[in-house]
Amino acid sequence: MTDISIPAARPANPRFSSGPCAKHPGFDLFELSDAPLGRSHRASAGKAKLKAAIDRTHALLGLPDDYRVGIVPASDTGAYEMAMWTMLGARPVTMLAWESFGSGWVTDAVKQLKLDAEIRTADYGALPDLHVDPSHDICFTWNGTTSGVRVPNADWIADDREGLTLCDATSACFAMDLPWDKLDVTSFSWQKVLGGEGAHGVLILSPRAVARLESYTPAWPLPKIFRLTKGGKLIEGIFEGATINTPSMLCVEDYLKALDWAEGLGLAGLIDRADRSARHVWDFCETRDWIDNLADDPATRSTTSVCLKFTDAPAGLAKRVAKRLEAEDVAFDVASYRDAPEGLRIWCGSTVEPDDVAALMPWIEWAYHAERAATQAA
């Protein structure tokens, strides 16, 4: 065994979960005391909070003026399924999937909506062919949260496309530079990059997406929770703070406090924090032969959900490494997603301190060699 001593330094915050993610630095539960609890979300106080969350999201992300932002139920899953069920079926669709959640959208399209979709998939670590017919709608994840593989850019999306692009960007928004002119429908949950509490989704619509909603009626019935139009017109209230169902005003207040912190850095600052954290992991892997990034191509490596594989390890070792790290209180929830290849997944989103990621890496080395030694001795 390589002689690896227990590292002296520890991450100040051992929370590297890929969702719900670490709270923003300086978070204090008592800061949420201004939440209008016990009040109707339709009262002026509640609506003002929801409208502020919408307007500030729009500003921080640098959205075009004519893009709409709405707060919807059921986290990113609810937001993305709302888009699929209300907009798909108007023209052919190409489904792109290279990890668990993208595969879930394929299931929705084929088994639930029963669309005659073109399906393109790739194994964990790779991307499928991105050359898509511009007359098709396109469904894809910007960043595969469970594979650590992201699209390198949006050059493959045609400027003169006829179809819509439906992008699940839940682990990309606020940590990656998104080209909004190429994205017609975008979904995310604030529980990811900004570390908000779960259960709420955000839906961003371009004018092209609004035009689809107002000109197309799906062949299937829509549950109330998915309806974005009434009488052939967009329900504008959803994008002004009148949510479809009752939101948690405590969660909204938490998101507003996360926005306070995020606005102090600006979008470029948020992206830089994630980039620096990911670079700590990449540099570590580049100098070791026993661990590597799951992404085959460095250009497709995620800077938020950084997924790693052990290059020569017995089955079960990665899970034991993750358990050992948790037992030492240096890293919580870093085992790979249940459907992904065995390995580690380190969340490097903007609320994580880059110094904590740097401090974690020697612990991974220590835990790996300790578990290899224990396996050999058994």
> Does the N-terminal peptide bond of residue 20 adopt cis geometry, omega within 30 degrees of 0?
yes
Q: Within 13 Å of residue 63, how many CA atoms lie on the same side as its CB?
A: 24
Contact 367, 6 (CB under 8 A): no
State what percent of residues in the chain have pLDDT above 90.
97
Tokens linked to 115: 């669309």
For the four alpha carbons of 258, 190, 22 and 41, in that order, the dihedral sign comes to positive
Quick one: pLDDT at residue 35?
98
- Spell out a b/e string for 242-280, using b for 16 or more CB atoms within 10 Å of the CB, else e: bbbeebbbebbbbbbbbbebbeebebeebbebbbbbbbb
- pTM over 0.95, yes/no: yes
Quick one: pLDDT at residue 241?
96
Which band of pLDDT confidence, cut at 50, 70 and 90, is reported for residue 375? confident
Quick one: pLDDT at residue 245?
92
- Rounded to the nearest 10 degrees, what angle do helices 75-87 and 100-107 cross at? 40
Per-residue pLDDT of 31-82, as tens digits, reads 999 999 999 999 999 999 999 999 999 999 999 999 999 999 999 999 999 9
Contact 187, 86 (CB under 8 A): no
Confidence check: pLDDT of 232 > 80: yes
Contact 118, 95 (CB under 8 A): yes
Quick one: pLDDT at residue 377?
82
Segment 135-148 shows an average pLDDT of 98
Tokens linked to 191: 């529980």
Find residue 121's DSSP bridge partners.
97
Please report which residue ranges of 188-248 form alpha helices under DSSP H.
207-215
Per-residue pLDDT of 98-126, as tens digits, reads 999 999 999 999 999 999 999 999 999 99
* Average of per-residue pLDDT values in the chain: 97
Segment 173-193 shows an average pLDDT of 98
Cα–Cα distance for residue pair 307/303, rounded to 1 Å: 10
Confidence check: pLDDT of 4 > 90: no
Quick one: pLDDT at residue 2?
61
Which band of pLDDT confidence, cut at 50, 70 and 90, is reported for residue 320? very high
Quick one: pLDDT at residue 335?
98
CATH architecture assignment, domain 29-255? 3-Layer(aba) Sandwich (3.40)
Concatenated DSSP letters of 81-139: HHHHHHHTTSS-EEEEESSHHHHHHHHIIIIIS----EEEE--TT--------TTSEEE
Quick one: pLDDT at residue 376?
83
Contact 41, 73 (CB under 8 A): no
Quick one: pLDDT at residue 1?
47
Segment 258-264 shows an average pLDDT of 98
Domain boundaries, the chain: 29-255, 266-377
Tokens linked to 103: 């595969």
CATH tag, 266-377: 3.90.1150.10
